[in-house]
Structure 1
Amino acid sequence: MTGNHTSFQDPAVAAYVLETPRKVPGLSDLHKMTTQLLSEQAAGAARVLVVGAGGGLEIQAMAAARPDWRFAGVDPSAAMLDVAGQTTRDYVDRTELIVGTAVDAPTGPFDGAVCLLTLHFLNRSERLHTLQQIRERLKPGSHFVAAHHAAVGRQKEVWLARSAAFAGGPGCTAPQAAASAKAMAERLPLFSIEEEVDLYRQAGFREPALFYAAFSFRGWVMTA
């Protein structure tokens, strides 16, 4: 969540499933809201694309809530997908996991798509390309949900420090949180709310709307 592309290859990624729920405020509710938002246009036996599926937490949550849904998950890290395979083992008959990025995903068309805690690793051109690839695979009128770190106003590092303090728990000191925020600000290509919305529209999505805000995290739902 706060690393770079190469960090996904670390064998310690198995800890992701345990650590992420405590690091991301309201993650379980984010998964519930995501399922609800996709369900508005994904009735019945829907196919859902999950980009950045390593770990498998969002697939696990959606599969448990919607036994009629099938999933295709892509992630550039084979190690992360191994973890996802373990996380989603109860739903193996409904889940396809593919090593790669959005361009490697099945062509669909899909009834909905999700990209959680992933896009903040991508620069502008990579992000736009990823969004375009997702849009191309969606049925017209279906929903796409994205959530990740964003640059919040003029106090980007303040909000990143608050996220870092939340993730660090009671033992995290203010200097530690500030140092973590500075590292994230330097490493992650974060965009303002206005820039985020503009990228979604450039990729061909309609009516991007903010539905989730938690310290430096923001989540949008939009229509293909």
Structure 2
Amino acid sequence: MNYDETAPFDVAAYRDAQKALPGADALYRLLLAHIEAALPQGGRVLIVGAGGGREIEALGGSAVRYEMTGVDPSADMLAIARRYAEQVGASNRVQLVQGEVPDVSAPPGGFDAATSMLVMHFLPDSGGAGGKAAYLAAIRKRLRKGAVLLHADVSFEDHAAFERAKPAFLRHARLAGLDKDLASAGPKAIEGLPIIGAERTAALLTSCGFSEVDLFYAALWYRAWVAYAA
């Protein structure tokens, strides 16, 4: 698949579209806080879905030195990530790989941390090579034991829960400054995605080699978990 020709959103509008995510700045600040707490002396971080640069911007701007490997299937999105690496002065600590998790070679001993932010909800909940379980297992395979994973997804239990949250999401997006079309783009895209609930997400993380799975962020249909490589 060519992810630049079939992107799930307008790449040029990526940063504006993220304003619709309630508490987006707090989410990425919490991501940094978890990684700094787990790795106060620095370490090697795998960033899955690195295109767009939010994680690189957060980690690259830290006073703690992190070596980052970012992977994303979209060349256009990786170009944005590269610009943010330059802006925070982290270009010499960032390696970008166009592809998917299996295309990344782990460093000796494995990565010390990984982030998976708003990626897995695009994948089917199946046992196939392109499914959610295979995705999480591929991340776990590249981590050392005890490494921390920060994982965020669109997550809700059923379509009724999604519909109940939609009016607040749309109003929040408009309050954040998005026009009507951009505000409504998120819910329209989500309706066609293979979304799973929090219980299923925690079960997948556990079955794929992670332990101590805790929810640390929830805002409307967005959820984020911290877990550790068992």
Q: Contact (CA 8 Å) 2:114, 2:149: kept in 1 or not?
A: yes
Give CA-to-partner distance per residue, 1:174-218, whole Å, 9 cap, x none.
Answer: xx86x964x345311110111111111111100211000011100
Per-residue deviation, 1:43:
3.1
What amino acid does structure 2 have at the position aligned with 1:15? A
Shift of 1:171: 7.8
1:162 Cα deviation (Å)?
2.9
- Listed one character per residue, the Cα deviations across residues 57-105 of structure 1 (whole Å, up to 9, x for unaligned) are 1111111024411100000101110111112112101111110111112
Is the alpha carbon distance of 1:197 and 1:33 closer, same or farther for their aligned partners in structure 2, counting shifts above 3 Å? same
Opposite residue 219 of structure 1, the aligned amino acid is A
1:113-150, CA deviations, whole angstroms, 9 ceiling, x for partnerless residues?
00112111111132111110111111111110111210
Name the counterpart of 2:164. 158
Question: Percent identity among equivalent residues?
Answer: 31
**Which of 200, 205, 208 is matched with 1:200 structurally?**
205
Asked if structure 2 preserves the Cα contact closer than 8 Å seen for 1:163 and 1:215, the reply is: yes
Matches for 1:1-224 after TM superposition, within 5 Å? 7-8=6-7, 12-20=10-18, 22-89=19-86, 90-108=89-107, 109-125=110-126, 126-152=131-157, 155-169=161-175, 181=187, 183-224=188-229
Question: Would the aligned equivalents of 1:152 and 1:159 in 2 still touch at CA under 8 Å?
Answer: no
Q: Is the 8 A contact 2:8 2:189 kept in 1?
A: no
User: More displaced, 149-158 or 193-202?
Assistant: 149-158
CA distance in 2, matches of 1:111, 1:171: 37
The one-letter amino acid paired with 2:161 is Q
1:23-45 per-position Cα deviation (integer Å, ceiling 9, x unaligned): 11111211111112122332313
- Give the partner amino acid of 2:37: E
Amino acid at match of 1:56: G
Alpha-carbon distance in 2 for matches of 1:215, 1:82: 30
**TM-score, length-scaled by structure 1:** 0.86
Instruction: Please provide the CA RMSD for this pair.
Output: 2.5
Q: Residues 145 and 180 of structure 1: is their aligned pair in 2 closer, same or farther, counting only changes over 3 Å?
A: closer
Whether the aligned pair in 2 keeps the contact of 1:46 and 1:70 (CA below 8 Å) is yes
Specify every segment of 5 or more residues in structure 2 that has no aligned partner in the other structure, as ranges: none
Give the Å deviation of 1:157: 2.2
Say if 1:201 and 1:6 are closer, same or farther in 2 by CA, change over 3 A. farther
What's the CA shift for 1:9?
Answer: 8.2
Say whether the 8 Å CA contact 1:149–1:190 is kept in structure 2. yes
Equivalent pair of 2:20/2:178 in contact (CA under 8 Å): no
Shift of the 80–172 alpha-carbon distance from structure 1 to 2, 3 Å rule, reads closer
Q: SS of 1:208's equivalent?
A: strand
Aligned-pair distance for 1:166? 2.1
| Greater helix content | 1
- Which ranges of structure 1 fall in alignment gaps of 5 or more residues? none
Aligned mates of 1:198, 1:33 — CA distance in 2:
23
| Structure 1 residue 159: Cα displacement | 2.1
Paired residues, number: 215
